[in-house]
Structure 1
Amino acid sequence: MFALLRAPRKAGSRIASKVTVGLMALALAACEPISLGTVAGGNSGQSIDTSKPIPVALLVPKSGGSGDATVSASLENAARLAIADLNGARIDLRVYDTAGNEAQTTAVTNQAIADGAKIILGPLYGGNANAAGLAAAQKNVNVLAFTNNASLAGGNVFVLGHTFDNTARRLTSYAASQGKRKFVTVAAQNAAGELGRNAIASAAAASGASVVGNVTYSYSQQGVIAAVSQVKSTVDQTGADAVFLTSNTNAALPFFAQLLPERGVDPAVTQYIGLTRWDLPPQTLDLPGLQGGWFTLPDPNRSAEFRNRYQAAYGTGPHPLAGLAYDGIAAIGALAGRGNSSALTAASLTQGAGFQGVEGVFRFRPNGVVERGLAVATIRNKQVVVIDPAPRSFGGFGF
């Protein structure tokens, strides 16, 4: 999927194409939010009649850009698989096409609510989630969005996607427990990079660690190459014992993984830590510079069970985001199954015990951001190895 560099001086043309792909990959986290404010009384949500099927609107970008039809189908399939698994609750799922744009998202959100939807599941992209939240707030309807942009959460919007904040908390806590407490962050000069850098700084302070240096780079061939020398000098000057990389595998990460060791940032001495998944795509596991690095992933056993069940039901594997739709339905069903008419209010959604999802335990914090139990993994001999398992409950974990 990507070509490795032979030497830094040959990096230019190859990095340019990867940077373009990376910008697309980070789209979920790079939207600027509009403040949604708070709902009167601080407890948004519709009352429901638990003796009847609960109308749930699923918002997906069926007719959006490249790949949107595929991810939309996978999200819908996962939601229906979750509905079939429910005990004690019935869901009337109605699917609406956002086309991946904000204007249509607003229109279909209003249509869904007019059709009787008691809660919105989705949409996918950050700007669309913001649009859905604004429209639904007018009717006191909660939105469980698939975005991973934590800054969009609040009021009636709950973020289901895997967030930088959640990952950073897990990794900084683990790093501190292993004696790694002085971090240098490496982040692109864009919205996603800023979100990642801020998440690491906040999580480090809470875990007893500290960020001793920040290296940012422009999303260009020269920017990535220049950052390598800056990282080396910053590590040397600060005595940092870990480098925190925010880039993903479709962007600059493969180049940092090669160029940093070549420049003298020895991963055997300075721990490499990643804010994104390093096991996707599988080719990433071959990168020498990432061997021994740390990253997070959902409970691999639960994830494998979901993939197998999805494959058996639909004849193909799920999209990596499909589990978000399953989890949304699982949370709605678990709450409604108790026979409580206030099951879909903010107070119920933010219950401390959380929910069991297909990728492990999760819960919504009071600010609307999801907290997920994650495993810490490393790469050994080009294989993923879990070095700290995902928690099975929130007892003694998280907030």
Structure 2
Amino acid sequence: MFAFLRATRKAGAHLAAALAVVGLAACEPIAMGNTGPAIDTSKPVAVALLVPRSGGSGDAIVSSALENAARLAISDLNGAKIDLRVYDTAGNEATTAEVTTQAVNDGAKIILGPLYGSNANVAGVAAARAGVNVLAFTNNSSLAGGNVFVLGQTFEDTANRLTSYAARQGKRRIVTVSAQTTAGELGRQAITSAAAANGASVVGNVVYSYSQQGVIQAATEVKDAVRSGNADTVFLASNTDAALPFFAQLLPENGVDPAVTQYVGLTRWDVPAQTLDLPGIQGGWFALPDPGLNAQFNARYSAAYGTPPHPLAGLAYDGIAAIGALVQQGNRDALTASALTQGAGFQGVNGIFRFRPNGVAQRGLAVATVRERQVVVIDPAPRAFGGAGL
């Protein structure tokens, strides 16, 4: 009945691998303070897009989508001129370092990408020598800092949004469920920190081995943790291409009734769409980008390129949108760290977002549930920073 759970790196099919929370490079980006190259806003600003075009399986697909989305964003800019230059990282660190150095030597004023987290580290180091900032597509917040800014939707952001909403609904006693992997540990830490920040308590942690037997055993442990901790919430860090479908079946079978104990997910439960058919996640909560804005982007992208965008494509659009908004202000220091971290933030196709002083993007997310196999937004994404959920 169960297939062995294993990690995969197919960018077209599995978001977790593409977002690269799987390991860190040995080097660290250089702390730069408020630096960034001066620009001439009367001329096109050179932006380097780093994508793994010749990398592993699926990399060409996601690379094309990122480039398409970036060019679509450029066409939408009002007044700002961007000279987009695309460089192939091949998905590995050595090539990433080489092409980043080449991009800087070619005159790039800011780097958009790369895709994989370990590559973001080496790109940051290479670009820092010239005082150039990097807007990486990773969701691994531990990579942010110095001249590296993280564009992806992070575990911390998602956990904070969901625990804040849960606490307002009276759900404050949480059991976390996470795998014995780097991503699982980062997810567990994010949930624990978010609970403390939002007046909730983690009353139990279930950590399972990343295998069929580990998931089966964990289901019983979750039931025991819920009962012993008098928990009202089970917060699952697993994603849809790994253990989530199994937990959706096993937890109700083991007596963790989703009608009594709220199921909450740290990852998207609507990707792929067939996940919505799982009986165990009906009524569960998860966070997602502003659905209205995202639908508009999907329609525009499909009309322009004849195919729906890859789920990560919006990150490239958002990066260009932020760069364009800053360049449009006409300041020579438009791409410095202080400019990038301005509090008002930016409007992207995934909703509002801003870079915090630590280099991590904070995004305005919606909270959704699953009803009759359909996604239903129960707390809309905020359209400005401040207030509930932010």
The TM-score, its normalising length taken from structure 2, stands at 0.96
Please name the residue that 1:15 is paired with. 3
Partners of 1:294 and 1:377 within 8 A in 2: yes
Counterparts of 1:386-397 in structure 2 under 5 Å?
386-397=377-388
Alignment of 1:39 onto 2:39: no
What is the alpha-carbon distance in structure 2 between the residues aligned to residue 25 and residue 227 of structure 1?
Answer: 24
Aligned 1:210-221 pairs, distance under 5 A: 210-221=201-212
Q: 2:165·2:389 contact (CA, 8 Å) conserved in 1?
A: no
Deviation digits for residues 288-309 of structure 1 (CA, Å, limit 9, x no counterpart):
0000000011110000000000
What RMSD, in angstroms, separates the aligned Cα atoms of the two structures?
A: 1.4
Distance in 2 (CA, whole Å) between partners of 1:212 and 1:19 is 29
Deviations 1:111-143 (A, max 9, x none): 000000000000000011111011111111000
Which residue of structure 2 lines up, in the alignment, with residue 146 of structure 1? 137
Q: Quick one: which of 163, 167, 170 aligns to 1:179?
A: 170
Q: Distance in 1 between matches of 2:220 and 2:27?
A: 39
1:49 deviates by 0.6
CA-CA distance at 1:33 after TM superposition = 4.9
Q: Deviations over 1:183-238 (max 9, x none)?
A: 00000001000000000011110000011110001111111111011000011100
Which residue in 2 is equivalent to 1:75? 66
> How far 1:35 sits from its partner (Å)?
6.0
SS in 2 for 1:303: helix
Task: Judge conservation of contact 1:15–1:255 (CA < 8 Å) in 2.
Answer: no
Q: CA deviation digits over 1:235-270, x for unaligned, max 9?
A: 110001000000100000000000000000000010
Deviation at 1:395, TM superposition (A): 2.8
* 1:335-379 deviations in Å (ceiling 9; x for gaps): 000101111000000000000000100000000000000000000
Residues 1:106 and 2:97 are matched in the alignment: yes
1:39-98 Cα deviation digits (max 9, x unpaired): 34x112111110100000000000000000000000000000000000121000000000
CA distance in 1, matches of 2:30, 2:69: 31
2:26 paired with 1:26 = no
Q: Distance in 2 between matches of 1:45 and 1:81?
A: 25
The residue number in structure 1 matching 2:125 is 134
Q: Secondary structure in 1 aligned to 2:283?
A: coil
CA distance in structure 2 between the partners assigned to 1:22 and 1:384 by the alignment: 27
Distance 2:255 2:129 in 1: 56
CA distance in structure 2 between the partners assigned to 1:198 and 1:139 by the alignment: 34
Q: Please, which of 273, 290, 304 is the counterpart of residue 299 of structure 1?
A: 290
Give the drift of 1:37.
Answer: 5.6
* Contact kept in structure 2, 1:19 and 1:252, CA below 8 Å: no
Q: Which residue of 349, 352, 358 corresponds with 1:361?
A: 352
* Residue from 265, 269, 285 that aligns with 1:278: 269
Alignment counterpart, residue 281 of structure 2, candidates 283, 290, 294: 290
The answer (yes or no) to whether the contact 2:29–2:124 under 8 Å persists in 1 is no
Tell me which amino acid in the other structure corresponds to 1:248: N
Structure 2 letter corresponding to 1:15: A
Structure-2 separation of matches of 1:33 and 1:168: 25
Give the CA deviation at 1:397: 4.9
Paired residue secondary structure (1:120):
strand
> What does residue 8 of structure 1 align with?
none
Provide the residue aligned with 1:238 in structure 2: 229
Q: 2:366 aligns with which of 369, 375, 399?
A: 375
Distance 1:296 1:25 in 2: 15
- Please name the residue that 1:228 is paired with: 219
AA paired with 1:121? L
Equivalent position of 1:96 in the other structure: 87
Q: Secondary structure at the match of 1:124?
A: coil
* Contact 2:232–2:260 (CA under 8 A) maintained in structure 1: yes
Deviation at residue 34 of structure 1 after TM alignment:
4.4
Hey, what's the Cα distance between the residues in 2 that align with 1:38 and 1:115? 21
Aligned to 1:326: 317
Secondary structure at the residue paired with 1:26?
helix
Partner of 2:240: 249
8 Å Cα contact 2:30-2:125 kept in structure 1 = no
Q: CA deviation at 1:144?
A: 0.1
Contact 1:183–1:210 (Cα < 8 Å) also in 2: yes
> Which of 289, 299, 309 pairs up with 1:308?
299
CA distance in 2, matches of 1:223, 1:395: 41
**Amino acid of the structure 2 residue aligned with 1:340:** N
Q: How many correspondences in the alignment?
A: 385
State the TM-score, normalizing by the size of structure 1.
0.94
Flag structure 1 segments of 5+ consecutive residues without an equivalent.
1-10
